[in-house]
């Protein structure tokens, strides 16, 4: 059985759920929104064994062969907006979340992706160092609490951007003259600056050994926040594809979303590897959805022979 | 120079740094992370500078490091606006993960991206590692956390693992088993707590922070981190 955990309105999870259903693969969906009605009981033997009881689900942990987890921070869910942090309900939800994470960490089968493997993304320079070791160019990067160092870096590279060091979402922005008025703020918190790399953005999704690239045309420094971003499928050369597969494997991931930029000189820069990609926005042809669903299903059927070919539903993100 | 990375509210850590032989150690606290003087360029890590004890230093001066906390807490960011503390905490932790992971010197309490001083393992994962290493575990079955009930039982023995072995442990076989636990966890600084039974010691719990009130532990830490040439 494939076990999915997260929210049904999250399109990557919904696509997986409906796709697996169409293939006739047993699938169990645990709705994070109903976390207060879920219980997780377990014991330790060689691994974790036990059961999960959720609305409409009674699942022995031994029945699971594949886990695909995309949980949100439960604190931000609307169902928790009126629940006190010190309440029994809150503690129960936190305990359930923790148990699910423990299961994902110790589960002997396929996990997309194991939480510890995903954690490199929580420190961008840490991950960038790993990316660099795998043969990608990375932009010159400065982390500093020293305004004077920022100015020197700016003078040296002419165009620089700044963004968060952690996985906290921040809008990637170019440093400009008006920012100088607040430059002294970097003293209060180490800040990451990078040389601006002029070129074309690509988002590459790797699922096991399969690679799907998408070219992104945007007038904005951070295409995620642009209203007129255009995307089109792209083909990368074989060596670059294999580098993406190797990097994904080296980070312990089965599924990744890699942010690349081809500079105007033709050099390939890698900025980040997203370990839980919300890929549906980049999946105009449905190829990524199909590959993900078949990858999850293959682990159950031990190969593609038993799988019928079906159209994976296309959901709008 | 040895850097002791800890909360400024941790008096044991402060004492460890202050009493280090030849005054070689300096405390690095969250306050230092929010101080002018940090400058690190990727790919040129060793040329960078950092702040400890309120003073800017070259990264090349660091001979060893010990990390004594798992994360930075919001309540310690005294100089940061309350509304910004959550964001700043995440940034400081991410920065420390990068900084500590790249230090080219011995480090106790090696960081992982999830935890500044070791693996972010739940007690159940430690129990599984102990079981795989030949240390008995007897955990009750209960909702969500089998280890929670175990904590209610009394711990009778604490083994301090520092660097590559347990401190003051004459039982060679048990030491080897704890070494195997350390290897499975990728950890080099932790306390393994055991319960007693007629058939031998049983896993109770693991704690990453060392017992700095134990002079043998402090000596073992100093011996591990002090440069051999001294």
Residues 172-231 of A with CB under 8 A from B: 187-191
The chain A residue lying nearest B127, using CA atoms, is A44
pLDDT at A123: 97
Residues in chain A: 317
pLDDT, one tens digit per residue, over B133-175 is 999 987 654 445 555 555 556 778 999 999 999 998 889 999 9
Closest C-alpha to A288, from A233, A230, A229: A233
pLDDT at A284: 86
Closest C-alpha to A288, from A298, A278, A274: A278
pLDDT at A155: 96
pLDDT at A312: 61
In the predicted structure, residue B199 carries a pLDDT above the cut 80:
no
Long-range CB contacts (< 8 A, 24+ apart) of B14-18? B15/B212, B16/B66, B16/B68, B16/B212, B16/B218, B16/B221
Q: Where in chain A is the domain with CATH 3.40.50?
A: 2-113
pLDDT, one tens digit per residue, over B19-62 is 998 889 999 999 999 999 999 999 999 999 999 999 999 999 99
In the predicted structure, residue A210 carries a pLDDT above the cut 60:
yes
Distance, in angstroms, between A86 CA and closest chain B CA? 18
Interface test with A, best of B31, B32, B35, B38 (most A CBs within 10 A): B38
pLDDT at A299: 84
Distance, in angstroms, between A314 CA and closest chain B CA? 35
Provide the token pair at B95. 């920065």
pLDDT at B143: 47
pTM across the whole model = 0.91
pLDDT at B177: 96
pLDDT at A42: 87
Q: Where in chain A is the domain with CATH 3.30.1490.20?
A: 140-195
Q: Which residues contact B111 (CB under 8 A, 6 or more apart)?
A: B67, B96, B97, B100, B101, B117, B118
Distance, in angstroms, between B141 CA and closest chain A CA? 5
| Domain A140-195 superfamily per CATH | ATP-grasp fold, A domain (3.30.1490.20)
pLDDT at A141: 98
Interface test with A, best of B36, B79, B115, B119 (most A CBs within 10 A): B36
Are the Cβ atoms of B141 and A42 closer than 8 angstroms?
yes
The confidence band for A245, taking pLDDT boundaries of 50, 70 and 90, is very high
Over residues A89-106, the mean pLDDT reads: 92
pLDDT at A226: 66
The chain A residue lying nearest B42, using CA atoms, is A141
Residues 115-174 of A with CB under 8 A from B: 115-116, 119-126, 128-129, 132, 138, 140-147, 149, 164-168
Share of chain B above pLDDT 90, in %: 81
Q: How far is CA A167 from CA A77, A118, A130, A269, in A?
A: 19, 11, 16, 19
Mean pLDDT (chain B) is: 91
Fold category of A2-113 in CATH: Rossmann fold (3.40.50)
Cα separation, B108 vs B106, whole angstroms: 7
pLDDT, one tens digit per residue, over A275-313 is 999 999 899 889 999 999 999 998 887 655 556 666 666
Cα separation, A169 vs A225, whole angstroms: 11
| Domain A120-137+198-275 superfamily per CATH | ATP-grasp fold, B domain (3.30.470.20)
Closest CB to B124: pick one of A48, A141, A166.
A48
Q: Touching check for A49 and chain B: CB below 8 Å?
A: no
pLDDT, one tens digit per residue, over A162-209 is 999 998 877 788 999 999 899 999 999 999 999 999 999 999 999 999
Provide the token pair at A303. 């190969």
Please give the interface size between A and B, counted as residue pairs whose CB atoms are below 8 Å apart: 154
Are the Cβ atoms of A106 and B124 closer than 8 angstroms?
yes
Closest C-alpha to A94, from A108, A109, A80, A112: A80
Are the Cβ atoms of B38 and A143 closer than 8 angstroms?
yes
pLDDT, one tens digit per residue, over A109-139 is 999 999 999 999 999 999 999 999 999 999 9
Q: What is the DSSP string of A88-121?
A: HHHHHHHHHHHHHHHHHHH-SSEEET-HHHHGGG
- Pick A37 or B138 by higher pLDDT: A37
Q: Give the CA count within 13 Å in the CB-facing half-sphere of A281.
A: 13
Are the Cβ atoms of B51 and A149 closer than 8 angstroms?
no
Q: List for chain B the helix, strand, coil content (%; round to 5).
A: 35, 20, 40
Distance, in angstroms, between A55 CA and closest chain B CA? 17
Residue labelled with tokens 């994976």: A312
In the predicted structure, residue B230 carries a pLDDT above the cut 50:
no
Interface test with B, best of A50, A143, A154 (most B CBs within 10 A): A143
Q: How would you classify the pairing of strands B25-28 and A160-163?
A: unpaired
Q: Where are the alpha helices (DSSP H) in B22-115?
A: 30-33, 85-101
Distance, in angstroms, between B123 CA and closest chain A CA? 10
Contacts of B119 in chain A (CB under 8 A): 116
Q: Are A2 and A296 in contact (CB under 8 A)?
A: yes
Contacts of B92 in chain A (CB under 8 A): 189-190
């Amino acid at each position: 059985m494939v076990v999915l955990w997260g929210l049904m309105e999250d399109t990557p999870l919904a696509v997986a759920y409906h796709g697996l259903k169409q293939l006739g693969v047993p699938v169990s969906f645990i709705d994070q929104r109903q976390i207060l009605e879920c219980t997780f009981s377990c014991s330790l033997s060689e691994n974790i064994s036990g059961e999960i009881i959720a609305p409409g689900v009674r699942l022995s942990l031994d029945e699971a062969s594949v886990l695909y987890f995309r949980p949100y921070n439960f604190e931000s869910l609307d169902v928790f907006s009126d629940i006190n942090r010190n309440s029994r309900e809150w503690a129960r939800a936190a305990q359930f979340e923790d148990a699910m994470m423990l299961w994902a960490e110790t589960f002997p089968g396929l996990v997309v992706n194991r939480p510890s493997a995903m954690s490199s993304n929580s420190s961008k320079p840490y991950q960038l160092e790993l990316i660099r070791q795998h043969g990608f160019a990375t932009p010159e990067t400065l982390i500093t609490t020293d305004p004077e160092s920022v100015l020197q870096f700016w003078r040296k590279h002419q165009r620089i951007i700044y963004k968060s060091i952690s996985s906290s979402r921040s809008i990637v922005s170019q440093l400009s003259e008006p920012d100088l008025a607040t430059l002294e703020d970097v003293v209060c918190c180490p800040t990451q600056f990078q040389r601006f790399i002029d070129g074309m953005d690509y988002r590459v999704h790797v699922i096991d050994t399969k690679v799907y690239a998408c070219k992104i045309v945007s007038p904005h420094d951070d295409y995620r926040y642009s209203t007129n971003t255009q995307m089109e499928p792209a083909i990368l050369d074989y060596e670059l594809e294999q580098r993406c597969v190797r990097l994904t494997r080296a980070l312990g991931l089965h599924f990744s979303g890699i942010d690349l930029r081809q500079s105007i000189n033709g050099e390939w820069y890698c900025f980040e590897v997203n370990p839980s990609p919300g890929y549906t926005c980049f999946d105009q042809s449905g190829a990524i959805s199909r590959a993900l669903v078949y990858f999850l299903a293959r682990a159950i059927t031990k190969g593609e022979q038993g799988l019928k070919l079906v159209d994976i539903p296309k959901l709008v993100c | 120079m040895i850097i002791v990375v800890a909360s400024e509210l941790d008096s044991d850590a402060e004492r460890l740094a202050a009493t280090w032989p030849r005054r070689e150690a300096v405390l690095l606290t969250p306050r230092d992370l929010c101080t002018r003087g940090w400058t690190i360029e990727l790919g040129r890590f060793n040329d960078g500078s950092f702040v400890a004890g309120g003073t800017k230093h070259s990264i090349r001066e660091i001979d060893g490091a010990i990390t004594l906390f798992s994360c930075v807490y919001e309540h310690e960011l005294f100089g940061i606006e309350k509304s910004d503390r959550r964001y700043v905490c995440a940034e400081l932790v991410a920065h420390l993960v990068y900084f500590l992971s790249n230090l080219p010197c011995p480090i106790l309490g090696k960081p992982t991206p999830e935890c500044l001083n070791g693996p972010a393992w739940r007690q159940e994962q430690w129990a599984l590692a102990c079981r795989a290493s030949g240390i008995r575990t007897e955990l009750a079955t209960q909702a969500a956390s089998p280890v929670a009930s175990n904590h209610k039982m009394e711990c009778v023995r604490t083994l301090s693992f520092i660097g590559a072995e347990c401190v003051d442990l004459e039982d060679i076989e048990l030491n080897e088993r704890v070494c195997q636990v350390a290897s499975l966890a990728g950890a080099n600084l932790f306390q393994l707590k055991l319960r007693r039974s007629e058939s031998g010691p049983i896993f109770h719990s693991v704690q990453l922070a060392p017992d700095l009130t134990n002079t043998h532990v402090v000596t073992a830490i100093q011996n591990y981190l002090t440069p051999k040439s001294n």
